[in-house]
């Protein structure tokens, strides 16, 4: 598991140099990295960890694809937030527009938008913050034509981190809202 993480992370350095859009899906990551570039990429990572961090965070918003799953093929399931913020970044809005487009085409699907916070806040405040984040995503989906009765929000606060690390990169992955199919 660790190795595959390293591979994925390492590949991100490469891919961010080449590709401008931040929404390369997991699938394409896997197909292109697996064998040939792995060794070289792993070396790069060792040599310059700071560069790696820069490539994965913009300000303190996570822009990588580790932990990102799919709501549907080619539709990322989550967006990331800055510390204590609920503002949607340009990349987040793009992801949510993709989600909205897919939901419009699949009108029988209902979703739960889960809101999450990192561990650097008090539990109760983080519950409220998670709810705010989930609603920011929900509101955007509604703006793009998904009716509100198809979207439930559920805040987990800091209770369900995806990354157990105690560092800025881990925290950035945990500040998120995730759109999950409910039916």
Partner 1 sequence: MRKNLFLIILFYVILKPSVSFSLVEIDISRGNLDPMPISVSPFFSDKITDENIKKKLNIENLGIEISRVIENNLEKTGLFDAIEKEAFLQKPDIAHLKPRFEDWALIKSQVLITGKVTSKIINEKDYINIEFKLWDVLGAKMVDGFSLTTTPRSWRRVGHKISDKVYERLTGESGYFDTRIIYVAEEGPKTQRIKKLAIMDQDGFNTKYITLGSELVLTPRFNPANDKEITYMSYFRNMPRVYIVNLQTGEQKVVGDFRGMTFAPRFSPDGKKLIMSLAKDGNSEIWVRNLETNIQEKLTDHPSIDTSPSYSPDGKFITFNSDRSGYQQIYVMRSDGSKVKRISFGKGIYGTPVWSPRGDLIAFTKLHKGKFFIGVMRTDGTGERLLTENFYQEAPSWSPNGRIIIFYRETKTDDKGQGFSAKLWSIDLTGYNERLVSTETDASDPSWSSLLGN
Work out whether 183 is an interface residue with partner 1 (CB under 8 A).
Answer: no
Do the beta carbons of residue 51 and residue 82 sit within 8 Å?
Answer: no
Selected binder of partner 1 within 4, 49, 165, 181 (CB under 8 A) = 165
Beta-bridge mates of residue 180: 112
Shortest CB 166 distance to partner 1, Å: 4
What would the x/- binding string for partner 1 be over residues 95 to 134, using CB under 8 A? -----------------x------xxxxxxx-xxx-xx-x
Joined tokens for residue 17: 């140099």
Task: State the Cα–Cα distance between residues 80 and 64, nearest whole angstrom.
Answer: 10
The footprint of partner 1 on residues 23-62 (CB under 8 A) is: none
**Residue 121 beta carbon to partner 1: minimum distance, rounded to whole angstroms:** 7
Tell me if 141 sits within 8 A of 178, measured CB to CB.
Answer: no
Residue 9 lies near partner 1 (rule: CB under 8 A):
no
Helix (H) or strand (E) holding 70: strand 70-72
Comparing CB distances to partner 1, the nearer of 72 and 142 is 142
């Amino acid at each position: 598991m660790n190795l595959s993480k390293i591979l994925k992370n390492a590949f991100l350095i490469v891919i961010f140099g080449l590709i401008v859009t931040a929404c390369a899906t997991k699938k394409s990551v896997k197909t292109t990295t697996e064998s040939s570039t792995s060794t070289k990429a792993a070396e790069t990572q060792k040599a310059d960890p700071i560069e790696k961090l820069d490539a994965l965070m913009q300000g303190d918003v996570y822009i990588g694809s580790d932990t990102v799953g799919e709501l549907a093929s080619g539709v990322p399931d989550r967006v990331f937030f800055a510390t204590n913020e609920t503002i949607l970044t340009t990349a987040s809005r793009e992801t949510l527009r993709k989600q909205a487009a897919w939901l419009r085409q699949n009108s029988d699907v209902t979703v739960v938008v889960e809101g999450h916070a990192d561990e650097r806040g008090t539990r109760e405040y983080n519950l409220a913050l998670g709810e705010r984040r989930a609603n920011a995503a929900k509101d955007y989906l509604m703006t793009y034509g998904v009716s509100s009765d198809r979207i439930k929000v559920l805040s987990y606060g800091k209770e369900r981190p995806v990354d157990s690390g105690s560092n800025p990169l881990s925290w950035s992955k945990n500040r998120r809202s995730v759109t999950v199919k409910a039916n």
